[in-house]
Amino acid sequence: MYRQSVPEGCSWSEHAAIIRESIPADLPQPQPDTIAPPSRMSSGLKLYYFAIRGLAEPIRMMLLDNKIAFEDITFQKDEEWFRIKPSFAFGQVPCLKEDGLEIPQSGAIIRHLARKFNLDGETEEDKVFADFFAEGIKDLHLKYTGMIYRAYETKDEFLATVYPVELEKVEKLLKKHANGEKFVLGNKLSYADYMLFEELDIALVLSPTSLDAFPVLKAYHTRFAQRDNLKAHLATRRIPINNNGKQ
Ligand SMILES: N[C@@H](CCC(=O)N[C@@H](CS)C(=O)NCC(=O)O)C(=O)O
């Protein structure tokens, strides 16, 4: 029977305990003086999500990297989530609240912020490229979460069959601008970069050799991880990638 209370993908209640246990106790805490202070104009941005990377991480990284102040509000407890769940348009998060505006859906949130902070490309051609690139990454992410949440026993098969095919397409597209040596749009940073970086990062966690056949993607990941405002976040984040503790 279809169980409406247990959605596909990320069901918080099933796995909350596993997540809490999976956080390494010895991970260093962020030091206030290693985190760049927010400097760009923002108006009380509040991002609601669970204490996982999941669908919120590209949004968080984009905000942090561009020094856009926001409140990262994470639900920690089952009761807390089920109390607040009905207040969200689709009963799900991430959700961004900003001066009375409530934006559900990770894609709508990141694009809204990209438009607002000039991270969506200059020309129509670039905007469209960033959009379809990001949609392609999202499709790959759905394949990944399908395996993580519903078929983890097929991980080796996923690594052997899905990544080689999908990452080849991604690398080919990345090379369209500046030979893949800069950003998704070439010289101009865009929201698609944060989606790409997170997907490459989780691929490397799944298997450290997953990018070996894709030198341009591997170099992109190495380069992007060195961005000044991201470094402290990457070194100190304590949250797991997925809510079932698998990665
Ligand atoms: N299409 C939505 C999917 C949102 C979604 O699946 N959210 C999950 C967490 S990853 C959720 O809120 N699960 C809790 C629940 O449904 O009770 C998006 O991109 O934001």
Ligand 1 centre to CA of 83 (Å) is: 16
Please tell me what DSSP assigns to residue 186: B
Check: complex ipTM more than 0.85: yes
Regarding the beta carbon of 13 and ligand 1, being less than 6 Å apart is answered no
Which pLDDT tens digit goes with each residue over 169-217?
999 999 999 999 999 999 999 999 999 999 999 999 999 999 999 999 9
Ligand 1 centre to CA of 129 (Å) is: 26
Regarding the beta carbon of 85 and ligand 1, being less than 6 Å apart is answered yes
Ligand 1 centre to CA of 53 (Å) is: 12
Please tell me what DSSP assigns to residue 53: S
pTM of the model: 0.87
Regarding the beta carbon of 58 and ligand 1, being less than 6 Å apart is answered no
* Mean per-residue pLDDT of the chain: 87
Residue 43, pLDDT score = 60
Residue 40, pLDDT score = 55
How many whole angstroms separate alpha carbon 152 and alpha carbon 123?
41
- Best mutation site among 93, 109, 138 for ligand 1, i.e. most ligand atoms within 8 A of its Cβ? 93
Ligand 1 centre to CA of 223 (Å) is: 30
**Residue 103: how many CB atoms within 10 A of its CB?**
18
Which atom belonging to ligand 1 lies closest to the Cα atom of 104?
20
Ligand 1 centre to CA of 49 (Å) is: 9
Q: Which residues of the chain have pLDDT under 70?
A: 1-43
How many whole angstroms separate alpha carbon 115 and alpha carbon 137?
19
